[in-house]
Structures are given as C-alpha cells and as structure tokens.
C-alpha cells in the first residue's frame, strides 16, 4: 500500500508539480527581464518614500486592444492610510464613470455631497469605472481593490453586458457561454507568458500599426444584432448574476460595505437602435403589419393620437417582437394620457431592441434577485431604476434625467449620488450629519456649468450624429435636444470675471476642494493672470500633490516665465504620474528636456529628448518638437556633427511615417518638417517639404 501511495505521489509530482514549477519559474523570469506588464487594476508606486496606488492603464489590455485608448480615471491614493478616511470605490461602465465629462459625473457629485454633509470626516471617492466594460471586467477590478472594513463599494453596471467583453455583440472577441472558461482565459491573459506568446504571433509590420483598431464609439458594436429570443441571452443573464454575486463576495471578503444599484436608462426619449420581427411572418402577416405601421406613423405626424394607437396596436398584434412598433405605440398612448400603458410599451421597446446598449428588464430584475440573498449589515440595495421612475412620473424616465440612451445629465447624477451619499452617511456618522445640499447649491459648489461642460456637450453632439444613433426614429429630436441643452448651459456662462467670482464663492464654501482651485487656475491662465494662476495651483497642489494636470500647468507657467528650475522640479515629479499615458509621457519628457537645455544642463536634457524619440514614436507632434529642440540646440552651439545626425534621423522618421501611411495621422507633418529644416539651414530641403504641404492643401 505504501509503495502504491509513493508511486502515485511521484507521478503527481512528475506530471503536475514539475511542470507547474517550470511555468512559475518562467513567469518570474519574464517579469525580471521586463517582458509583459502587470494586468492588475492598481499599480504600486513609491513617491517621497511613501507607497501609493495608481490605476494601471495596462489592465484593460486583457479585454480590449491598447490602441482603443480605453483608460481608467487617474487617481493616486495612499497604500497605507493612517486616518479615519472612508473610501468609496465606484464600479461600472461609462454611465458610472461620468459621460461626456467625468468631472461632473456621479463620483464628483458623491464626493462633494459627502464633504458638505460631514465636513469633519474625510472621504475619498475613487472612480474605477471605465467605458465599454461590463460585469466580467468589474469582477476583475473588484479583486484588485485594496478595500478595508471602513470602505465602501458602489456597483452600477449592466449596460454593456451584451456588447462588452465576451458578450454576443462584442467586436473583438468570441462569445463564450461558459463562465469558467472565461475566468480561466482571463487568468491566462494576466500572465506574462501569455503576453509573450501573444506578442510573438502578433504582426509587427508597418501595416499593422496603420490597421490598428481605433476607438470609433458605439458604431464599433453594431454588426451583431441580438433578438429577444436569442439563446445566447440566457448565458448573458446567467453570467451577469454570477459576476454580480462574486463581485459582492470579493468586496465583502475585504470587509467593505457594498452598495448595489439597478441601472436606470432612457425609456421615453431613446427610440430602439434596431428592430426585427421576433418570429417569421407570412407574406400576408408582413403586409398587414407594414400597412398598420405606415398608417400609425402617418397618424403620429398628423398628431392623430387615437388613430395612431389603434393602428400601432394592430401592428403589434401581428409582430409583438418589433421594438420600433412598441416604441411608437408607447408614444401615442402617452399623448392620449395613458401613461401606465405607455410605460409598459416603452419597456417592451427596450427589451426588444436588437442593438443592446441599455440594461434591459431581465438584467435589472437579476439585480433585485441577487439583492434578496444579501441581508447582512455590509450590504445595501438601491433600486435606482424605480427612483428614476418616481422622479419622472407620470412619464417614463427620459431627457429629464438623461442625455441620450444611458448617460445621466446633472439631475440624474445628482439623484444617484444623493441616494448613495445617504447610505454612506447613515453607516459612517448616523447622528452627526447635515442635510444634503440641493442640486442648485451643488452646481455652484462644483462650478457647473463651465467651459469644459460646453466642450463635453460638443463632443456628445458629435457622437450622436454617428451610428447607431442615426438609426433611431427620433434622431432629429435627439440632435435638437442636445443642441438646446448645450446652448442653455452656455447661456449660463458669463464673462471670465463672473466665472472667477463664482469659483471664489465656491472655494469660500469648500476651501479644501482642490478641483475648484485647479479650475480657478485655468480661468486665471486664460486671462494671462500669471500670479493668481500660480497662487491657485499652489493651493490645489497643497491639497492634492498628486494631480498631474496641476503639475503640468504650473510647469508650463514656470517655463513661460523662465523659472526653469521650478519647471524642472514639477516635471520631474510629473514623471511619477505618466505611466501608461503615452501622450502625457511624451509631452512631459519634451518639456523636461527643453527646460534642462534652457538651463544649460545639456548632459541632462539631451538624453531625455532622445528617450522621448525612442520610446514614443507614435506621439508625432512631441517627437517632431524634440527633434526641433535638439537641432536648434546643436545649431546654437555650433555642433555640426550632431546637427547632421539629428537631421538624418528626423528625415528617416518622417519618411517612415509617409511610407507606412501614417502621415494622415498628423496633417501638419509636411509643414513642421519645412519649419525644422529651415531652422537647421537646410533651405532647399525645407522648400521641398513646403511645396508638398501646399500640394496637399484642399483647393480654395
């Protein structure tokens, strides 16, 4: 018997133990020699001898290509908190992140509400939400959150279950119905061995860079329709239920209080993105349905609502699964004052939409079922969908709380954040809290709206003029609504002096709000009031020394005023916060190299500029600036050999961009080359580039 046990043991060691040790050793070796990247959501950094966590931009690459530019919200926070600070981690997709401007999303609202209601108690709201992610990704994020018993997690996820990773409508992965297989595949993707293997088989040709996936918004997800009776939806709902439960368990296992919310969406003013008949229709049925639909649409245009409802109900009786028919019927019933029936058909239209960008009734019902199984003190369920219905009554939720299909306007974000805030406050300080401020007061405290708000509304207007929005029957109304909303917000902005006065008033009410100080600095900078801008930046950085944009702006002002030592100090510190952000990294290195050269510290500045050129070739503007700075320096110091070397390298770089078809990525390439070559004294070559630039300009 002992002999048999020994034999089995040795076989297990030989077949499992030795290969396992080999792969563990290989994984460690790859890590040591720098192959692959950590796929954890948080990276640990040491700044001023203290440990901090930063969101890791490489995390998302296990789900989406890096070229899409899907990134987490930047935030640096202590890995060793030693106070009574409660941290609230927000998990979810773009609706939870805040779109089109995270600065005015639910996280910013929540942080401001908590700070006002409990000024003596510190809170940190940490936004982990990301665009285009679903519960598969949220589950991975939850595992990496450094939670403590005094921390909270808010889960608001569900819009991307079909179109996100491993969903049947995603664009870059195959749909998988087995959750264990998905989890196993994710575990493999996190290893450096997998990354090395994938990298070895990934094309590295010039054309691969040209053909790399670029973010094109929701139109990237429109190729795969999913009908209501699609069997794959059962797996989607099952995965969502399991991911939600496992995410709650993981977070509660860290001692955190978990707040789970249903997901409100736009029912009333978001027509279906796609429609299809739920069953095959005979020619006769199709003719009957089409006739009633056309008559119903004609009656709607003539505001004959009763006739419209009759025809659309007749069409629905033929094809109950057609989303657009349901939506039009809901519209007609609403106009007749039958709001209860209208809301039923608005929901039916959502559930039958074949392009599933919104959380449907099955997903929200799944949240409610999951919530019933968690009765402990570390769990709170908030039915935000019902809350939106209450505040929209007698209508369904629409443009009163949302901007388009799923993203919340200021009022919607306030409604969500105020409900989350009450839960947090009741748990942390149940007897010593002020009433929550009203939306108007919160808007003043946040400086809403501001110029970035108007820019964000412009981006939103651009987005809804592309598919799938162009396929909505109320697309013209959507364009008009966003246009009017943006104009109304712009109308609330006055001159710079008034805006500065409003910011000062807000700062007087919330002097520790570093974001207000930063926004004030931006206003002063736009007025070219350098002393006041620097004063505001100093205050912002004294409260939050990790804010990269404050460091960047202060360094720009210091360089502009020729205070190069101050600029170098801020830029060197900024290097701690540029990991994964290639644009910021290239800009930082370029500014730092230039500052060193302007301080006559050539041996420090030149290597930094060469590092930029070597490490960030895709950042064309920054690379050209670096070459221009190096050539200008070599000309100024009479270093002919270096000037010629830089010119040769620059020409090779520009030629490679043209050869690889990347000149279109940077339309100013030919003009910038003419300018740099002219600076170098290469006037004939500069003229040739300038001539090519003219030839590329469109005819007047």
Q: What is the CATH number of the domain that holds 332?
A: 1.25.40.10
Picking from 318-332, 498-512, 564-578, which range would have the lowest pLDDT averaged per residue?
498-512
Mean pLDDT on 96-120: 94
Confirm whether 482 is domain-assigned.
yes
What is the domain-level CATH number for residue 431?
3.40.50.1110
User: Is 500 inside a domain boundary?
Assistant: no
pTM, two decimal places:
0.90
Orientation angle between helical segments 192-201 and 179-189, nearest 10 degrees = 80
Q: What is the pLDDT of residues 549-574, one digit of tens each?
A: 999 999 999 999 999 999 999 999 99
**Mean pLDDT of all residues in 460-471:** 96
216-246: buried (b, 16+ CB within 10 Å) or exposed (e) per residue? eebebbbebbbbbebebbebbeebbbbbbbb
Q: Is the pLDDT of residue 699 over 60?
A: no
Q: Residue 610: pLDDT above 60? A: yes
Q: Give yes or no: residues 640 and 563 share one domain.
A: yes
Q: Which of 37-51, 75-89, 488-502, 536-550 has the highest mean pLDDT?
A: 536-550
The Cα 659–Cα 617 span in angstroms is: 15
* Residue 43 forms part of a structural domain: no
One domain for residues 168 and 317: no
Q: Does residue 326 form part of some domain?
A: yes
Per-residue HEC secondary structure of 103-160 comes to: HHCHHHHHHHHHHHHCCCCCEEEEECCCCCCCHHHHHHHHHHCCCCCCCEEEEECCCC
Last residue of a domain, one of 489, 510, 528: 489
Instruction: Give whole-number Cα distances, 551 to 63, 370, 537, 588, in Å.
Output: 31, 44, 8, 10
pLDDT digits (tens, 9 = 90+) for 197-246: 776 665 444 334 434 566 778 888 888 899 999 999 999 999 999 999 99
Query: Is the N-terminal amide bond of 468 cis, ω within 30° of 0?
Result: yes
Assign 18 a pLDDT band (cuts: 50, 70, 90).
low
CA distance 396 to 527: 45
**Count: domains in the chain:** 3
Task: Give the three-class secondary structure for 45.
Answer: strand
Is residue 277 in some structural domain?
no
Q: What is the DSSP string of 455-501?
A: HHHHHHHHHTTSTTGGGSTTHHHHHHHHHHHHHHHHHT---HHHHHH
- Given 489, 507, 535, the domain boundary residue is 489
Read off the pLDDT of each residue in 244-255 and give the average, rounded to a whole number. Answer: 98
Tens-place pLDDT, residues 341-400: 999 999 999 999 999 999 999 999 999 999 999 988 899 999 999 999 999 999 999 999
Answer yes or no: is 318 within a domain.
yes
Residue 547 has a pLDDT of: 96
Final residue of a domain: which of 291, 318, 352?
352
Q: How confident is the model at residue 108 (pLDDT cuts 50, 70, 90)?
A: very high
Q: 129 and 230 share a domain?
A: yes
Same domain assignment for residues 217 and 302: no
| 264 & 407 share domain | yes
β-bridge partners, 42: 55
Mean of per-residue pLDDT scores for the chain? 92
Find the mean pLDDT for residues 472-485.
98
Q: Where are the alpha helices (DSSP H) in 156-282?
A: 179-189, 192-201, 206-210, 232-253
Query: What is the residue range of 332's domain?
Result: 283-352
């Amino acid at each position: 018997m002992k002999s048999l046990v020994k034999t089995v043991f040795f076989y297990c060691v030989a077949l499992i133990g030795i290969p396992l040790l080999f792969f563990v050793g290989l994984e460690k070796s790859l890590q040591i020699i720098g192959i692959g990247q950590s796929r954890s959501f948080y990276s640990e950094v040491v700044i001023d001898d203290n440990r901090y966590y930063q969101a890791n931009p490489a995390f998302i690459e296990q789900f989406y290509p890096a070229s899409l530019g899907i990134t987490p919200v930047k935030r640096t926070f202590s890995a060793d908190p030693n106070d009574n600070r409660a941290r609230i981690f927000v998990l979810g997709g773009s609706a939870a992140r805040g779109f089109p401007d995270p600065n005015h999303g639910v996280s910013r609202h929540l942080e401001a509400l908590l700070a006002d209601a409990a000024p003596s108690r510190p809170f940190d709201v940490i936004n982990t939400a990301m665009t285009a992610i679903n519960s598969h990704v949220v589950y991975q994020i939850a595992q990496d959150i450094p939670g403590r018993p005094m921390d909270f997690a808010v889960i608001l996820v569900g819009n991307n279950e079909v179109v996100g990773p491993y969903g049947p409508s995603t664009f870059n992965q195959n749909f998988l119905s087995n959750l264990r297989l998905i989890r196993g595949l994710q575990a493999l993707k996190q290893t450096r061995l997998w990354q090395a293997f994938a990298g070895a088989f990934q094309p590295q040709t010039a054309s691969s860079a040209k053909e790399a996936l670029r973010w094109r918004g929701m139109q990237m997800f429109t190729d795969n329709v999913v009908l209501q009776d699609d069997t794959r939806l059962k797996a989607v709902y099952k995965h969502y239920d399991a991911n939600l439960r496992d995410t709650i368990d993981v977070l509660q296992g860290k001692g955190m209080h978990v707040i789970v919310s249903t997901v409100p969406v736009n029912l009333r003013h978001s027509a279906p993105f796609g429609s299809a008949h739920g069953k095959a229709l005979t020619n006769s049925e199709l003719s009957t349905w089409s006739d009633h639909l056309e008559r119903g649409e004609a009656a709607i245009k003539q505001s004959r609502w009763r006739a419209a409802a009759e025809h659309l109900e007749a069409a629905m009786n033929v094809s109950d699964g057609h989303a657009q028919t349901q939506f039009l019927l809901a519209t007609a019933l609403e106009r007749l004052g039958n709001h209860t029936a209208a809301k039923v058909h608005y929901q039916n239209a959502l559930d039958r939409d074949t392009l599933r960008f919104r959380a449907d009734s099955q997903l929200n019902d799944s949240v409610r079922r999951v919530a019933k199984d968690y009765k402990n003190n570390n769990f709170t369920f908030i039915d935000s969908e019902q809350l939106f219905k209450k505040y929209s009554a007698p209508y369904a939720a629409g443009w009163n709380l949302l901007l388009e299909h799923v993203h919340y306007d200021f009022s919607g974000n306030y409604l969500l954040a105020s409900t989350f805030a009450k839960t947090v406050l009741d748990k942390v300080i149940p007897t010593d809290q002020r009433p929550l401020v009203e939306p108007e007061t919160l808007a003043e405290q946040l400086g809403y709206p501001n110029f970035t708000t108007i820019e964000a509304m412009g981006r939103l207007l651009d987005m809804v003029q592309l598919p799938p929005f162009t396929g909505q029957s109320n697309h013209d109304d959507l364009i008009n609504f966003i246009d009017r909303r943006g104009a109304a917000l712009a109308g609330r902005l006055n001159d710079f002096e008034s805006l500065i006065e409003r910011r000062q008033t807000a700062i007087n009410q919330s002097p520790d709000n570093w974001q207000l100080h930063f926004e004030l600095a931006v206003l002063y900078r736009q007025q070219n009031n350098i002393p006041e801008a620097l004063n505001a930046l100093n205050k912002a950085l004294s409260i939050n020394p990790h804010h990269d944009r404050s460091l960047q702006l202060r360094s720009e002002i210091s360089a502009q005023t020729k205070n190069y030592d101050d600029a170098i100090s801020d830029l060197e510190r900024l290097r701690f916060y540029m990991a994964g952000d290639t644009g910021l990294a290239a800009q930082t290195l370029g500014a730092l190299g230039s500052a060193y050269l302007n301080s006559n510290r050539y041996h420090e500045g030149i290597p930094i500029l060469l590092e930029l050129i070597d490490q960030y070739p895709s950042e064309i503007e920054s690379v050209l600036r670096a070459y221009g700075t190096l050539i200008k320096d070599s000309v100024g110091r009479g270093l002919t050999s270096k000037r010629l070397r830089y010119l040769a390298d620059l020409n090779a770089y520009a030629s490679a961009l043209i050869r690889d078809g990347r000149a279109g990525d940077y339309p100013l390439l030919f003009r910038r080359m003419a300018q740099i070559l002219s600076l170098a004294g290469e006037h004939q070559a500069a003229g040739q580039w300038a001539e090519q630039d003219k030839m590329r300009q469109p005819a007047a």
